[in-house]
């Protein structure tokens, strides 16, 4: 069992991935974080006791922020905000993303600025460790004041309402907590608002997307190398001197990956003194395109990890001067921007991949490979229709790449008059990652087929290991067969990092 101690400042993408993807992972919190939580809560309790007017503790919310709430009604106020804001619709988020939402909300509370009791933190820890996963509908957030509607559904499960998954089954929140032996949380002053305010949903979706994107980026270099070999492409465009003359890190790293993946190939050696001067851009410009995706990924990862260790609810409670201050840390603009940017970048991985697919299927460009990579063309259609599927997904990605962050619809009677649409941006990225996985899977099938026609025994040692991993699961297609299962298996090789593991037996890939 993997154990992780959190303190509000030490969560990174790798740890996030290990926790949300491992049902046996457990979390705990540092002693210092516990002290911060208790110290901050005392300030809230004092405000309640002295009946000092502070937003969200004894006032209404949004447009109702000027409405003072009687002391006797302040607990009901917190219950009501959860009920009234749980208006999400659509399919539920995948359970790993919902688990990530709880993890991020927990980490945010550990900095001691949210004013919640330790009971709230304990409930989150128990739900994470026992895999009680809230049912959170995907749609309903505009990205400010954070992810109100979806977080309200998480709060419902925490308080024994709504729905949650436990041991693979969907049930009422109350039943899930009871079966897991977790006490139902009774909200106190400020706690409902603290749970609902924040960017944890869009952050979790972005985090899950970047975990997938990392696999796609590394796999694209591997698959592109296979395609280059199948097409008898020239490696000269990956010469280190070219890339040092334009020293973008991602470009340099991609060229390095390609050189190492192709090292020792007899097919590469056959290019010595060959008359071919240049390949198509989809082969020759892999360092420039894949490299730009790498640079975008690393920028997005930096923003994400900052957000993972940030406090994004409102208002915040500070022990310096015992102040409760309203602000706007819940606004999702930083995440919306990088989600949109990353969506564009991942879409380009699919776009350039589709071009390599077409190059391998067309006899006018494939340098001697049989049409559509089949021996008996006409009787067999071979991989003809796989390119159509790839084209459909690439086109869909183009639509999804329209930025969400340029949109804003005022809400709450113009109190919340500029919103980020960050949840939309992150959800689109997650979908584009899925589409791109399939496009790369199709390229993988075509490249393996083409390289077998060419003579896979002549490729590099690194790519031989990759081919072996593919052929352990997917056989050479001698004649037409049901191809969709092969596409799914190839996608699994990417998403399960099997291609990366095979290649990295020979070379450590850079990203």
Q: What tokens were used for 166?
A: 């436990």
Length of the chain, in residues: 511
Number of H-type helices and E-type strands within the chain: 20, 9
Annotated active-site residue in 55, 165, 297, 359: 55
Give the three-state DSSP class for 300: helix
Q: What tokens were used for 347?
A: 């879409």
Please enumerate in sequence order all residues whose Cβ is within 8 A of that of 510, keeping only pairs 6 or more positions apart, or say none. 253, 254, 256, 257
In eight-state DSSP terms, residue 478 is: S
Q: What tokens were used for 61?
A: 């919310």
Q: Is 55 a catalytic residue?
A: yes
Task: Give the C-alpha separation, 125 to 215, whole Å.
Answer: 29
Closest alpha carbon to 255 in 216, 229, 294, 227: 294
Closest alpha carbon to 148 in 348, 341, 346, 423: 423
Decide if 444 contacts 471 (C-beta within 8 A): no
CA 483 to chain centre: 28
Helix H or strand E encompassing 240: helix 240-244
Give the three-state DSSP class for 165: strand
DSSP of 289-353 = HHHHHHHHHHHHHHHHHHHHTS---SSEEETTTTEEE---TT--HHHHHHHHHHHHHHHHHHHHH
Decide if 374 contacts 383 (C-beta within 8 A): yes
* Residue written as token pair 């901050």: 40
CA 465 to chain centre: 28
Task: Give the C-alpha separation, 329 to 483, whole Å.
Answer: 48
CA atoms within 13 A on the CB side of 163: 12
Which residues are catalytically annotated? 55
């Amino acid at each position: 069992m993997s154990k992780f101690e959190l303190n509000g400042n030490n969560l990174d993408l790798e740890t996030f991935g290990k926790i949300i993807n491992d049902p046996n992972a457990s979390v705990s919190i540092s002693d210092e974080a516990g002290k911060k939580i208790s110290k901050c809560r005392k300030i809230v309790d004092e405000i309640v006791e002295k009946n000092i007017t502070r937003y969200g503790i004894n006032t209404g919310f949004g447009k109702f922020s000027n409405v003072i709430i009687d002391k006797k009604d302040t607990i009901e106020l917190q219950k009501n905000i959860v009920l009234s804001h749980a208006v999400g619709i659509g399919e539920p988020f995948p359970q790993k993303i919902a688990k990530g939402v709880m993890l991020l909300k927990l980490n945010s509370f550990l900095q001691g600025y949210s004013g919640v009791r330790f009971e709230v933190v304990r409930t989150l820890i128990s739900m994470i460790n026992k895999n009680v996963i809230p049912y959170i509908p995907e749609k309903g957030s505009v990205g400010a004041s954070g992810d109100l509607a979806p977080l309200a559904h998480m709060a419902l499960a925490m308080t024994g309402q709504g729905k949650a998954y436990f041991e693979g089954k969907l049930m009422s929140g109350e039943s899930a907590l009871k079966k897991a032996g977790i006490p139902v949380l009774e909200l106190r002053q400020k706690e409902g608002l603290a749970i609902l305010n924040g960017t944890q949903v869009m952050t979790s979706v972005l985090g899950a997307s970047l975990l997938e994107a990392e696999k796609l980026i590394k796999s694209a270099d591997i698959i592109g190398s296979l395609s280059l070999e199948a097409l008898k492409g020239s490696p000269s465009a990956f010469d280190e001197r070219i890339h040092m003359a334009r020293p973008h890190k991602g470009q340099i790293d991609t060229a390095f990956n390609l050189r190492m993946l192709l090292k020792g190939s007899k097919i590469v050696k056959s290019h010595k003194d060959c008359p071919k001067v240049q390949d198509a851009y989809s082969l020759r410009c892999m360092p420039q395109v894949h490299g730009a995706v790498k640079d975008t990924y690393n920028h997005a990862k930096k923003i994400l990890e900052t957000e993972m260790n940030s406090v994004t609810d409102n208002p915040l409670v500070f022990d310096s001067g015992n102040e409760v201050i309203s602000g706007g840390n819940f606004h999702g603009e930083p995440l919306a921007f990088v989600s949109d940017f990353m969506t564009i970048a991942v879409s380009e991985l699919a776009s350039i991949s589709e071009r390599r697919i077409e190059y391998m299927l067309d006899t006018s460009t494939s340098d001697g490979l049989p049409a559509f990579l089949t021996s008996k063309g006409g009787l067999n259609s071979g991989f003809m229709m796989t390119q159509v599927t790839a084209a459909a997904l690439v086109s869909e990605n183009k639509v999804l790449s329209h930025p969400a962050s340029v949109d804003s619809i005022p809400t709450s009677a113009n109190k919340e008059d500029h919103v980020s649409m960050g949840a939309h941006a992150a959800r689109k990225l997650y979908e584009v990652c899925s589409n791109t996985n399939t496009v790369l899977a199709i390229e993988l099938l075509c490249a393996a087929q083409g390289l077998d026609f060419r003579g896979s025994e002549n490729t590099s040692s690194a790519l031989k290991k990759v081919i072996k991993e593919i052929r352990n699961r997917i056989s050479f297609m001698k004649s037409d067969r049901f191809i969709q299962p092969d596409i799914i298996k190839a996608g699994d090789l990417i998403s399960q990092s099997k291609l990366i593991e095979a290649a990295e037996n020979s070379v450590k890939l850079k990203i």
